[in-house]
Amino acid sequence: MGHYLVKRLLLMIPTLVGILAITFAVIQFVPGGPVEQMVQTLTRSGVAGETVAVDTRSLLKGQSGLSPEELGQLKALYGFDKPPLTRFADMLGNFARFKLGESFFHHQSVGVLILDKLPVSMSLGLWTFFLTYLICIPLGVAKAVRDGSRFDLATSTFILVGYAIPGFVLGVVLLVLFGGGSFWQLFPLRGLTSDNWAELGLVDKVLDYLWHIALPVTASTVGNLAVMTLLTKNVFLEEIRRQYVYTARAKGLSESAILYRHVFRNALIPLITGFPAAFIGAFFTGSLLIETLFSLDGLGLLSYESVIRRDYPVVMGSLYVFTLMGLVTKLLSDLSYLWVDPRVSFEEGGQ
């Protein structure tokens, strides 16, 4: 076990560096970087309120009024005055000390930006996570016990229809129906809280928050129900059809005793092992379309804007954090097998 844990931790380092290296290499060939954008802004001219586009390639050659010294100062400002390998090595050294750099456009630390946007994405992600597990596991068990019944058919139809509808499309439908579109205005259109939230009492604050989060969480959750529900159903069906179940029935045990004392414990193994990754991942869930649709300023919107604006410190810093968390949660998922089923072995030839 200790040998396996050390090996996995050591493998995380080249994996993390490899992902960062590939992304960093791609960035070097993407046009319209921060230097080019700043040069274009400085040299742009307007006539009668109309903006004249400028060729960024000619700008970088100093053909639009900026001297080579001024271009050099701009490159030094954004850290592009060093060779790519040197910049990559410096970035890895800073990341090792959890110094994620400073945003080119927000003029804030990347870590501060992520922490500022995190509560919004956490609200959306955690509610989606808990509702998915609270609905899918009981529903999947009920479908497995009633396999082939009308209940099984009706619920399968419902969850598959929900799975086929993209979350942002469902969000638009919910806004039209219940957000003051063409029918009823039962829920607010934007934000997590009202403007006067600070003036409300504790109970009113909780109710106001739930009122605002209802539609975006519904739009995010419905599409996640199908996979977890059908996985739960199939796992329980497989366990119900095993020989030990028939033996337990032959001994006279009730169906509820068989289900909850024997089947439930064995069937939950593949479900629980995915729990750590799903739970920690919920803290960093950022749905761009859902956040944009409901005007939620979270990590999804931050990542999208960073890519569009070529805010490389935010892109690389957030990628580093999310990749590191993904590798750690994958390790926790593997280790959770030992907690759920001690028979699992990570030694050579033990699996």
CATH label of the domain that carries residue 203: 1.10.3720.10
pLDDT value of position 285: 60
Flag whether pLDDT at 299 surpasses 80: yes
**What's the pTM?**
0.75
User: Which of 63-72, 108-117, 209-218, 300-309 shows the lowest per-residue confidence on average (mean pLDDT)?
Assistant: 63-72
Residue keyed to tokens 């509820």: 256
Of the segments 14-18, 241-245, 248-252, which one has the largest average pLDDT value? 14-18
**Banded model confidence at residue 21, pLDDT cuts 50, 70, 90:** very high
Query: Are 67 and 167 in the same domain?
Result: no
Flag whether pLDDT at 324 surpasses 70: yes
Query: Are 69 and 138 in the same domain?
Result: no
**Banded model confidence at residue 48, pLDDT cuts 50, 70, 90:** very low
Please state the rounded mean pLDDT for residues 56-73.
58
Query: Are 151 and 240 in the same domain?
Result: yes
Total structural domains within the chain: 2
**Banded model confidence at residue 54, pLDDT cuts 50, 70, 90:** very low
Domain termination site, one of 33, 61, 96: 96
Query: Are 131 and 257 in the same domain?
Result: yes
- Give the range of the structural domain holding residue 235, as residue numbers without chain letter: 110-340
| Domain presence at residue 15 | yes
Flag whether pLDDT at 344 surpasses 70: no
| Domain presence at residue 227 | yes
Give the separation between CA 268 and CA 265, rounded to whole angstroms. 6
Query: Are 66 and 137 in the same domain?
Result: no
Query: Are 82 and 175 in the same domain?
Result: no
Query: Are 180 and 315 in the same domain?
Result: yes
> Crossing angle, helix 68-77 and helix 34-43, to 10 degrees?
130
Q: 73-119, pLDDT tens digit by residue?
A: 777 877 788 888 999 999 999 999 889 988 888 888 999 999 998 88
Q: pLDDT: is 50 or 278 the higher one?
A: 278
Give the separation between CA 274 and CA 330, rounded to whole angstroms. 9
The pLDDT mean for the chain works out to 81
Domain termination site, one of 69, 96, 123: 96
Query: Amino acid letter at 128?
Result: T
Contact in structure between 262 and 269 (CB atoms under 8 Å): no
| Domain presence at residue 218 | yes
Which residues, at least 6 apart from 332, have a Cβ–Cβ distance to it below 8 Å?
276, 277, 280
Give the separation between CA 305 and CA 307, rounded to whole angstroms. 5
- Smallest CA-to-CA distance from 322 within 114, 10, 116, 58 is with 114
Hey, which bits of 8-150 come out as E strands? 45-47, 50-52
Phi then psi for 342, rounded to 5 degrees? -60, -15
